[in-house]
Chains A and B, each alone.
Chain A
Amino acid sequence: MDESPPPPDNQSPPPPLPPTGHTGSPTDFLKGVVGKKVIVRLNSGVDYRGVLSCLDGYMNIALEQTEEHVEGKITNRYGDAFIRGNNVLYISAAEEL
């Protein structure tokens, strides 16, 4: 609400809200990154960078303009890529939401 520091006489301050208008829900984050550039890291350590077309409840992912990065080097490019959800470690936003 307001940016003033919490008054010292308050009992316990509420947990701080995340900045810039996002709610904390994972679903909201995922909805927000559809159509954006993302980094998808797999359990194997391989990264896929591309534009997130869509994803489903299994965290199966469709990516466009995908680059495969292994240890920081591009090892492959795919126009479209389907990634099976069980391999996914995380999805990270690669641009401002």
Chain B
Amino acid sequence: MDPSSSGIQEPFDLIRLSLSERVFVKLRGDREMTGILHVRALKHMMGHMNLILSDVEETIMIVNEGEQATVSVAKRKMGMLFVRGDGVILVSPPSRTQ
């Protein structure tokens, strides 16, 4: 029996199917980024979820402590980025993100 409609057998298949696509990545420390998953990086990713991304835009949520806590957002762009897997919380192919 196929447990899911998408035919994914293990969670890494979701990453495998997203190679060379733009993915959304949520990281520890209130950081998010989108970038294109590097095709040749699969071996790195399998073990630890290390990611190699290109054409990256990072969004950093900065909480300003105070009487009234406010959140400001900083963005930056990077051409190529290696993300160490232990910082990764969530990866989503944003093509299907609304």
Query: Are A and B a genuine interacting pair, yes or no?
Result: yes
Contacting residues, chain A, for B93 (C-beta < 8 A)? 79-80
B4 to chain A, nearest CB (A): 4
Contacting residues, chain B, for A81 (C-beta < 8 A)? 14, 90-92
Main secondary structure of the interface of B (DSSP, over half): mixed
Contacting residues, chain B, for A35 (C-beta < 8 A)? 3-4
Residue in A42, A80, A87 whose Cβ sees the most chain B Cβ within 10 Å: A80
Q: Which residue of B lies closest to A36 (CB)?
A: B3
Check B11–A62 contact: CB distance below 8 A.
yes
* B88 on the A face (CB < 8 A): yes
Check A84–B3 contact: CB distance below 8 A.
no
Contacting residues, chain A, for B92 (C-beta < 8 A)? 66, 78-82
Check B14–A80 contact: CB distance below 8 A.
yes
Contacting residues, chain B, for A44 (C-beta < 8 A)? 89
Contacting residues, chain B, for A89 (C-beta < 8 A)? none
Contacting residues, chain B, for A64 (C-beta < 8 A)? 4-6
Check A77–B89 contact: CB distance below 8 A.
no
Q: Across the A-B interface, give the 6 residue pairs with the lowest CB-CB distance, nearest first.
A: A79-B96, A78-B92, A60-B11, A53-B4, A62-B11, A82-B91
